[in-house]
Structure 1
Amino acid sequence: MARLAEQLADAGYNVMTTREPGGSPGAEAIRHVLLSGAAKPLGPVAEAILFGAARADHVATAIEPALAAGTWVLCDRFIDSTRVYQGVLGKVEPGLVRALERIAVGRTRPDLTLVLDVPAELGLARVRARPGARPDRFESEDLAFHRALRTAYRELADGEPQRCMVIEAARKADEVAAAVWQAVTSRLIVPDSLAAAREVLG
Structure 2
Amino acid sequence: EERSALLLEIKRQAAEFEQQARSDKLTGLANRRAFDESLHRECARSKRRNLPLCLALLDIDHFKQINDTFNHSIGDRVLKLVADAISQHCREEDLVARWGGEEFAILLPNCGNQAAHDICERIRQAVSETDCSAIAPDISLTISIGVTAYHSDDTFDKLISRADKALYAAKEAGRNRLNQI
What TM-score, normalized to structure 2?
Answer: 0.35
Structure with a larger share of its residues in strand: 2
Would you tell me which structure has more helix in proportion to its own residues? 1
